[in-house]
Structure 1
């Protein structure tokens, strides 16, 4: 399903629908008796929901300790204030309304000869997207209003208090279970259906939700952690055992044109962009955004990459203190070279070969290589797709949920998950004996693998939130590369610490309040519109 087929119908359905105050909308023209009469009608209504898929998260990691932009970010340094409005709150409710509208009115097509099985495909898509929207709200705000029908302008439910997090999560699970049962497999969707959500998309997403809720419950001591962790294990296992997905051979090419399309079985949910300059509908400019410093990798992220012998830099005999910038990549996990620019890499039109990071923009002294393509840079537009859910995450979800549930993980389970990723990367495997012999903490090694494999894809902040380690990691100073003056030059003289590492933000300018910052503040305007809503604690 190409985006170009989504946009015209999106425009049609958007008329009279999109507004900041999404919950107080009158009935729209989509309810006209001339609609909901064919499978094409409900498919077009479902297509609109795909326009809500997230765009490339090129700057999201500046919320965490993995990246730093041109300047400090109020989420990561603890200085943000409650906003008057927030698309992170309003936009999901736009999607929820669209999904509820389909669920409420879509069954009318049965009166016009549409098969119930076909109808259920699109109802399942609606329930998947409703689950998607509610999970985004729960992650950020915790308790929020649970709306499961299309409301009229004066409906009293618009003024109801927020529903408990537990009720919303149970609804998410119910929606995803329906989607798992009724969506088609990737094989059934085939080439023509590539881009639509499949039953394995719902399995993979359920493993994400359940892992988040399970670890959040465990480390914040709220709720039944084992219930959620068991669901995470089972959902990830179902996706694995479906046989529909596998790892793509090249880690670097996952984020290039080579990784696009159904031939890459690692893709589970993808935001599709255009095709070419002559067939452009949606585009992005990720490389130019990153080139100018939107999300520069930090020393904390770089230090987390293992040596090729499978040991951390503080334990491996292969590690030597760098004497020049390029030394950081010597004998390291090759995913580091795939994620950061190094001397000799193809770069941009005005500098075909990368030399050293430009400290005017790449302020940490490390340069982000994601989605880099010299031709796209020259054209100022890129069509490289964004893989929102990929199979590697499912393997990581299974490994982590298994360990968190049982307090252990078998070597066979490691071989089926973590070590498949390490085989692709080209580094030594992890086993219980290896961890014991080298004084490694298995939980931390599983978390390290997740950090490295999913680096700069927008996961790190949420991992810190659910593990309840944000209060430890985010107040630390944000460090960059060692300041090799002879290589970086003196055009920009950075702040450095006593060990001569670049400091982009000092600890005294960073904070994280554990009584407040694990939830986001509700927008002020929403509190005014609905007096029954209560602001999250200490905001």
Structure 2
């Protein structure tokens, strides 16, 4: 039974309740409480609030070439304008203010609380401050760097944005502090499962540093090698800690209840939901509300990225045969494909217990995601399946990619340590340098492929395309779906097909990406109005 982190109402009142736009202009007196910050319980309750900011299951992959929804979205079709407000901006500054508040006030507990305890909850706060700033700089680039709570007269409210390099330096400092002061996963154990550990801080640092290292490399700015080394070092520290390992069960079960709790060492950071309808934190309806009803459907582009079991892509493998029936798509393929995509015979939902073929009225690509699919959850619309936010599998592919991008090569031993452990889980032949040379494969592309299939449907693809500077190439392509199996799909008059009989979901003319502006998001107009020193991102 996993422990549920309880979010304390008084803490929410003290630390939240803020609009976050204008980078927090509430008077300091409105959140001060001289009777609080006296004990470990106070610090823990304050830190608990930060966990409410961990992201829920989402449909962000529709921004990428991995998925598409029932309708176009203004990111992939290029129609968005600079918004008046943006929750991605405001919410992260709410988180940052709450974290700053803990960092400032935790020392007040010194009279009755050990320094190690104060450091621990300060470290949690600094982890979440780093989390908030990474979310901001990933989207917006340069933003105001605020490291204290502000009152109405604070000069920081009218200061210009800080350079992204300074923000990343602060993120690294916060995560290094967290890695030093937080307990290990083992020490947290079952009682504190779900709280941030020292390896969570290191794994997140690896994610952050890989993003900035590859982004600066391919966008030609900054110090790529510095960030890539930081990514490799942090990922290797997680590997060497032996605190984590890959889930020993089926890949599909990793996203079901059997894959939850401290017994699953693959989960490094999770958003907890609960263990049952009667013992829960919150619930979600991600399967029924996002997947089954077509708000996020996998594309042919994603499907084609799964290797054949001989380790070769479908364009090179002699095992690949053009599909005649829908189940042929999964024959001799990486088994993670059939764990991620619905196929004929899979359990589906209460009103249709067994899946046969995706209904095109909802699943417009003719494919349907299977990850997190659960018949009981479909029925109740109240799932308690946790969202894995950072898995050990990500750490492995991060280490492989950081090494390759840093050195221009990777040894077979490091491929065995990373990529090949994941390929083994999918029943796919090993990747070696000799294998790549013999078959005309590019190691960098194969590492990127492994990242794509292992982390499919988990919200990474759009950001990967941005950092690799390939979004301008990949996102404007037409969106294709499954082969149109007429005997299975039936007569559908509204479906468009390509000349080779694949479902054409969205033509290229409806997909746009402007490399002159779309690699950064627009700052909210209200923020610029409140602080004229802020400058809008180029092109917006």
TM-score range, shorter chain: over 0.9
Match of 1:151 in 2: 150
Shift of 1:4: 5.4
Q: C-alpha separation between the residues in 2 aligned to 1:291 and 1:144? A: 38
Q: C-alpha separation between the residues in 2 aligned to 1:527 and 1:426? A: 52
Question: Per the alignment, do residues 395 and 479 of structure 1 end up closer, same or farther by CA in structure 2, a change over 3 Å counting?
Answer: same
Match of 1:117 in 2: 116
For residue 71 of structure 1, give the secondary structure of its aligned residue in structure 2.
Answer: coil
1:82·1:522 contact (CA, 8 Å) conserved in 2?
A: yes
Q: C-alpha separation between the residues in 1 aligned to 2:67 and 2:453? A: 13
Match of 1:338 in 2: 339
For residue 414 of structure 1, give the secondary structure of its aligned residue in structure 2.
Answer: helix
Match of 1:286 in 2: 286
Shift of 1:304: 0.3
Choose 73-82 or 444-453, whichever is displaced more: 73-82
Q: C-alpha separation between the residues in 1 aligned to 2:63 and 2:374? A: 25
Q: C-alpha separation between the residues in 1 aligned to 2:432 and 2:308? A: 16
Do residues 364 (structure 1) and 365 (structure 2) align?
yes
Question: Per the alignment, do residues 477 and 484 of structure 1 end up closer, same or farther by CA in structure 2, a change over 3 Å counting?
Answer: same
Shift of 1:487: 1.1
Q: C-alpha separation between the residues in 2 aligned to 1:154 and 1:2? A: 43
For residue 388 of structure 1, give the secondary structure of its aligned residue in structure 2.
Answer: strand
Match of 1:268 in 2: 268
Match of 2:164 in 1: 165
For residue 387 of structure 1, give the secondary structure of its aligned residue in structure 2.
Answer: strand
Match of 1:207 in 2: 206
Match of 1:486 in 2: 487
Shift of 1:154: 2.6
> How many residue pairs were aligned?
537
Do residues 135 (structure 1) and 151 (structure 2) align?
no
Q: C-alpha separation between the residues in 2 aligned to 1:469 and 1:222? A: 16
Shift of 1:22: 4.8
Match of 2:509 in 1: 508
1:338·1:369 contact (CA, 8 Å) conserved in 2?
A: yes
Q: C-alpha separation between the residues in 2 aligned to 1:18 and 1:2? A: 31
2:50·2:98 contact (CA, 8 Å) conserved in 1?
A: yes
Match of 1:81 in 2: 81
Question: Per the alignment, do residues 367 and 352 of structure 1 end up closer, same or farther by CA in structure 2, a change over 3 Å counting?
Answer: same
TM-score scaled by structure 2? 0.97
Match of 1:102 in 2: 102
For residue 216 of structure 2, give the secondary structure of its aligned residue in structure 1.
Answer: helix
Match of 1:453 in 2: 454
For residue 31 of structure 1, give the secondary structure of its aligned residue in structure 2.
Answer: coil
2:102·2:125 contact (CA, 8 Å) conserved in 1?
A: yes
Q: C-alpha separation between the residues in 1 aligned to 2:336 and 2:354? A: 20
Q: C-alpha separation between the residues in 2 aligned to 1:125 and 1:219? A: 32
Question: Which consecutive residues of structure 1, in runs of 5 or more, have no partner in the other structure?
Answer: none
Do residues 68 (structure 1) and 68 (structure 2) align?
yes
Question: Which consecutive residues of structure 2, in runs of 5 or more, have no partner in the other structure?
Answer: none
Shift of 1:76: 1.5
Q: C-alpha separation between the residues in 2 aligned to 1:425 and 1:10? A: 44
Question: Per the alignment, do residues 206 and 306 of structure 1 end up closer, same or farther by CA in structure 2, a change over 3 Å counting?
Answer: same
Shift of 1:381: 1.1
TM-score scaled by structure 1? 0.98
For residue 217 of structure 1, give the secondary structure of its aligned residue in structure 2.
Answer: helix
RMSD over aligned CA atoms reads: 1.3
Shift of 1:458: 0.3
Shift of 1:30: 4.6
Q: C-alpha separation between the residues in 1 aligned to 2:380 and 2:510? A: 39
Shift of 1:18: 4.6
1:275·1:383 contact (CA, 8 Å) conserved in 2?
A: yes
Shift of 1:392: 0.2
